[in-house]
Amino acid sequence: MPSVPGPAKFRASATAAAICASVASLVLVVLLLPAAPAQDVGPRDVLRKIVQDLCVPDQLQRKDPTPCAEVNLDGGVARGFAILKDIRGNTQYLLISTARIAGIEGPEVIAAGAPNYFADAWDARTYIDQALHQTLSRDDIALAINSAPGRTQDQLHIHIDCVRPDVQATLRAQASSIGTRWAPLNVPLAGHHYEAIWVSGETLGATNPFRLLADGVPGAAQDMGDRTLVVTGSSLPNGTQGFIILEDQVDPATGDKASGEELQDHDCRIANSAPASGPQR
């Protein structure tokens, strides 16, 4: 006959269950937040609570990162990250730092020896392929981090999803004019004026976009919170693989909140027209 827990154990179990239920309910809330204007949302620390109170403990105690898809603590919590499925669309994932970092303005992202969160986000694009049951090409994928005014959560997170078809078409048409130094893109994207730079490499292991922005764009290091970064894969006509990196700045005069997520397509329409591609990965 199984033993019957005493009152203290019941209270502990009930408390743990209440905590889990409370935090779990926040999962649904936060995953809906990006659809709403930043100034209209509630708590801005829900992502942090999901990762720090659920995903990381579950990974450490049970080797199960649920509700996250992945928790990577190879460098410790201070350098780790979690991958969480966003409720919008079938293909949108978020890379979230396990360390407490507010966002793009966090000094940790450009500190010497900082983790390359964008490199990890690029590697995590395989979750999109798994969701689609097909392999997208490099320039079908976009990574984005929003500015402080243009986001809903104050925990560092990078959106991983498909690029908008019109954005892809524009970047392909402008590819020959995008050089290895930051320069304004000749045409707007989603109605906003971005600067662009091209970097080579199959992965982002040798390039940290945060550092590239802070070091390469005058004034960016002083106002990182007003900036957004978008990264999409690219390949030159000669087959050289690389990335187009875009940045934009908050402009109250035009209503530009520097939300690079606007260049992504959470319906991933590009998957319906793009042939599966292995070599460009």
CATH 3.90.1150.10 fits 7-273, yes or no: no
pLDDT at residue 272 in the model: 87
Q: Tens-of-pLDDT digits for all 281 residues of the chain?
A: 333 334 333 333 333 443 444 444 444 444 444 443 344 445 899 999 999 999 999 999 999 999 999 999 998 999 999 999 998 999 999 999 999 999 999 999 999 999 999 999 999 999 999 999 999 999 999 999 999 999 999 999 999 999 999 999 999 999 999 999 999 999 999 999 999 999 999 999 999 999 999 999 999 999 999 999 999 999 999 999 999 999 999 999 999 999 999 999 999 999 987 554 443 44
pLDDT at residue 275 in the model: 55
pLDDT at residue 274 in the model: 54
The pTM of this model reads 0.85
pLDDT at residue 42 in the model: 59
pLDDT at residue 77 in the model: 95
Please write down the HEC assignment for all residues of the chain.
CCCCCCHHHHHHHHHHHHHHHHHHHHHHHHHHHHHCCHHHCCCCCHHHHHHHHHHHHHHHHHCCCCCCCEEECCCCHHHCEEEEECCCCCCCEEEEECCCCCCCCCHHHHCCCCCCHHHHHHHCCHHHHHHHCCCCCHHHEEEEECCCCCCCCCCCEEEEEEECHHHHHHHHHHHHHCCCCCEECCCCECCECCEEEEEECCCCCCCCHHHHHHHHCCCHHHCHHHEEEEEEEEECCCCCEEEEEEEEECECCCCECCCHHHHEECCCCHHHHCCCCCCCC
